[in-house]
Chains A and B, each alone.
Chain A
């Protein structure tokens, strides 16, 4: 597992590897079908609940329903979205939040992953469990805890007040609110992917570099980073995909306007009762997400060719 730079796919190649060492041919064939069987359910669900809705959404967003109920092909929904200041502001704030979160995630998680990879003591084990902890906290609970702690007159304010310092400018209900929440929420996945990517960097290589006098930064720049670029790309694309379409944290912690695409779509669909526009917003969101999805697929594909 540690030697595999691709956490999502690693178990597959491992299965093949172990299967090759098993001499009985029948077991091998059985294993193959078991693999197909295991993968069939998720593939079917993805096709049914993700791919199919996307395929039906695209034509629906291009349809214009006339007053008499007739439908005609038109780009009107897209024209409206891209000429509407309000919608564009929402798209911009979504892109801004995603970019800021991705940058912060990298800045926070890379040192954390390096520490976890090259340290093995009790404190490291403790840090690791702390880093994974956000994975088990539902985002709605996180949101209310955030209001309690970082909100106005929250715990941080009380502590600052206790030592005679001025209050903080609370990020609650500003674009920074969702940023802080989303970064915290995405730390575990990013750290896990980076740590598994760092497994590809062997101790021997680093020791060899050290022997010839390479300094820490040089080792990081010339030895470690080139080997984990792929993992970084994967980690960032996973983070970005989740953040771009996030809902709860921007809904509870973010400002009323501009809003991120998640709350905006939900509001357009339910409160404004305008499904065609909500679908159009969704298609635009897919389009952005697909770019990051392609990053992920490309790096996986690149790694699979021998």
Chain B
């Protein structure tokens, strides 16, 4: 019995120690990397960027951490900013994608590395279309498209304007679904496209610092009317999936005919056979569905600042930028001249000419709250 008692006690203490939060300190040579993107991006880093970078730079390792979603990552950035003010270790170095305008004022306080001054070899390669500020490094782009089942909707009849799309959804009730705007970019950019439609398709009306409650009411309410009007014609009289993947699943189960989808996710799903070959992709021509470039951020106060800059430079190399196209199905952050010519021809149809964008921050919060209150309910699902 004594032995058994000992085993139980030892196991108990061991479990207890495991449960206690670890006191972590950032290690020299281990870049603490965070992402708020989907698993396909994390897989890309795990399978391509991390092995390639670690092989080229012995002694440096990448610690890839999934921060969940945008707000999860913002909490880590808030912590890094607080750490800068107190001069302590932020325990983070590199953010796969983020908006340097957040937390508000972070650029002025010097939280982020200025890439133009950091001495990157490849900085000049960045596509001018993708350039936003010198504090964020665009390395991949993607855009929301419409994916549809060509066996039910012939390619020639696919809607190419917002008006045609709305007409199609209403003429084919139950055949369209988008996800809740806070649960994935495909649904949120569909919602943002409706917001832009309600505001004269003018993307310049929304900036990261022009939010006010009155403006939101005036500019968002008409969009809620558009979306609430669509709701009865959606799948199951107004159902909304809880993520990009679930929408793709419904399209692949042939439960719906059309969904909004990320270009990279759609191309990957097609390549893996998750979506059948008969899936068509179409973009609206009056104003494309929004999307954007994913821009990496490096913390000025991170323990591994210089190594992270090296990583950022590596990201813009031809090796990784070609893989962004072939492995990720995204479009490169560098100008197309820096991608091999055969790839340029092969992917000609996804080369974007414009990508409408929509600010994050307070606008995003207003969109998320407003949609749940004005669009998601108020529908008699059993009608």
Q: How far is the CA of A15 from the CA of B8 in the complex (A)?
A: 14
User: Are A86 and B9 in contact, CB atoms less than 8 angstroms apart?
Assistant: no
In A88-104, the 8 Å CB interface with B consists of 89
| Per-position 1/0 for B172-188, Cβ under 8 A of A | 00000000101000000
- Mask of A151-192 contacts with B, CB within 8 angstroms, 1/0: 111100000000000000010111000000000000000000
Using Cβ atoms and an 8 Å threshold, which residues of chain A touch B16? 41, 45
A147 within 8 A of B: yes
Residues in B with CB closer than 8 Å to A271 are 69, 71, 182, 365, 368
A2 within 8 A of B: no
Categorize the interface residue count of chain A.
Answer: 20 to 34
Given A37-B12, A271-B71, also A256-B180 (CB < 8 A): yes
Inter-subunit contact B249/A147 (CB<8 Å): yes
Q: What residues on B are CB-neighbors of A273 within 8 Å?
A: 71, 365
Q: Nearest CB to that of B6 among chain A residues?
A: A34
Residues on A with C-beta less than 8 A from B239 are 172-174, 255-256
| B249 proximity list for chain A (CB < 8 A) | 144, 147, 151
A46 to chain B, nearest CB (A): 11
Query: In which size bucket is the chain B interface?
Result: 35 or more
| A38-B69 in contact (CB<8A) | no
List which A249-301 residues lie within 8 A (CB) of chain B.
Answer: 251-252, 255-258, 267, 270-273
Q: B369 in the interface, Cβ–Cβ < 8 Å?
A: yes
Contacts of A89 in B (CB 8 A): 377
Question: A residues within 8 A CB of B243?
Answer: 252
Q: Which listed residue (A34, A86, A251) contacts B242, Cβ 8 A?
A: A251
B304 interface contact, C-beta 8 A = no
CB atoms of B8 and A38 under 8 A apart: yes
The reply to whether B5 and A34 form a contact with Cβ atoms under 8 Å apart is yes
A31 to B246 Cα, complex, angstroms: 53
Partner of A173, one of B5, B15, B69, B240: B240
Most buried by B among A147, A153, A256: A256
Residue of A nearest to B20 (CB): A45
Does B122 interact with chain A (Cβ within 8 Å)?
A: no
What is the minimal beta-carbon distance from B254 to any residue of chain A, in angstroms?
Answer: 6
Q: How far is the CA of A30 from the CA of B5 in the complex (A)?
A: 10
B interface secondary structure, majority = helix
User: Which B residues from 83 to 122 make CB contacts under 8 A with A?
Assistant: none
Q: Are the CB atoms of A152 and B71 closer together than 8 Å?
A: no
Q: Which residues of chain A come closer than 8 Å to B368, judged between CB atoms?
A: 267, 271-272
Task: List residues of A (33-63) whose CB comes within 8 Å of B's CBs.
Answer: 34, 37-38, 41, 45
Those of A17-42 within 8 Å (CB) of chain B: 30-31, 34, 37-38, 41
A173 to B250, CA, bound (A): 12
Q: Which of B69, B182, B242, B253 meets A154, CB within 8 Å? A: B253
CA distance A273 to B75 in the complex (A): 10
Which residues 120-142 of A sit at the B interface, judged by CB distance below 8 A? none
A153 to B175, alpha carbons, bound, how many Å? 13
Nearest CB of chain A from residue B312's CB, rounded to whole Å: 27
Question: B-facing mask of A223-262, CB < 8 A → 1, else 0?
Answer: 0000000000000000000000000000110011110000
Q: Are B13 and A41 in contact (CB under 8 A)?
A: yes
Q: Per-position contact with A for B313-343: 1 when CB-CB < 8 Å, else 0? A: 0000000000000000000000000000000
A38-B8, A45-B16, A173-B236 in contact; A152/B377 too (CB < 8 A)? no
User: Chain B residues with Cβ under 8 A from A267's Cβ?
Assistant: 182, 368, 372
Contacts of B240 in A (CB 8 A): 173, 255-256
B275-317 near A? 1/0 per residue, CB < 8 Å = 0000000000000000000000000000000000000000000
Where the two chains meet, the residues of B that have a C-beta atom closer than 8 Å to any C-beta of A are 5, 8-9, 12-13, 15-16, 19, 68-69, 71-72, 180, 182, 235-236, 239-243, 246, 249-250, 253-255, 365, 368-369, 372-373, 376-377, 381
10 smallest beta-carbon distances between A and B, as pairs: A152-B255, A257-B376, A173-B239, A256-B376, A270-B71, A257-B377, A256-B240, A271-B182, A41-B16, A153-B253
Q: A86-B373, A170-B236, A256-B372 are in contact. List 19 more A-B contacts (CB 8 A).
A: A31-B5, A37-B9, A37-B12, A41-B12, A41-B13, A151-B249, A152-B236, A153-B253, A173-B236, A173-B241, A174-B239, A252-B243, A252-B246, A255-B239, A256-B180, A257-B372, A270-B72, A271-B365, A273-B365
